[in-house]
Structure 1
Amino acid sequence: MIGSHKINSRIAPKAVSQAPLPAEVERAMTYDWGVLVDAYLMDAGRVGDRYAATVFCDRSGRASDGTTVATPAVEHLSTQGGFQLLRAVAAFDHYVIVSELST
């Protein structure tokens, strides 16, 4: 699972991965979300109040780009340019859904 309560909000940036980021992730990163985004999620599949997705730019460093993760329980905050900003219900983590699987 990604995300955790962060005691220190100044986290060292993750080393640049060798593979380029998907263009959709780069586009989602251009928006001003008003919060620090903890991870970008692609091909997200909703399961109740959680998502399983492919993660990119995980600030916690727990998940490498392109790995599959599960979020904690989240709530929708806003939408910009077709991307969705989510917040973990029991933490201060924020995620952006770049693409979502259709049901």
Structure 2
Amino acid sequence: MMAPGHMIPSVDIARQFARHAVKATVITTPLNASKFSKTIQRDRELGSDISIRTTEFPCKEVGLLESCENIASTTSTLMYVNFIKGLSLFQKPIEQFCTPRHKY
């Protein structure tokens, strides 16, 4: 869920994995990435194999403003409902990041 109460712990878990020599990638939207990119960069400079990949949230497709990439930015019930609909459309780009690009 793209909400501060979910994103902060998710990033913290990814950072912990990276500190234990596991490659970690945080997949999020550009606006959400900006909230923790400095922390991730600092971890990279300290030797952690962690990165951020971004993909666009389907704001327009569900009737939201382009800046509505986080549930905290919804200001009405309709925006909240549209944001939840957007999450289902957001699933496909996330799956594409997780699908291996090479056949073995």
Q: TM-score, normalised by structure 2?
A: 0.26
Q: Normalized per residue, which structure has more strand?
A: 1
Q: TM-score, normalised by structure 1?
A: 0.27
Tell which structure's C-alpha radius of gyration is larger: 2
Q: Normalized per residue, which structure has more helix?
A: 2
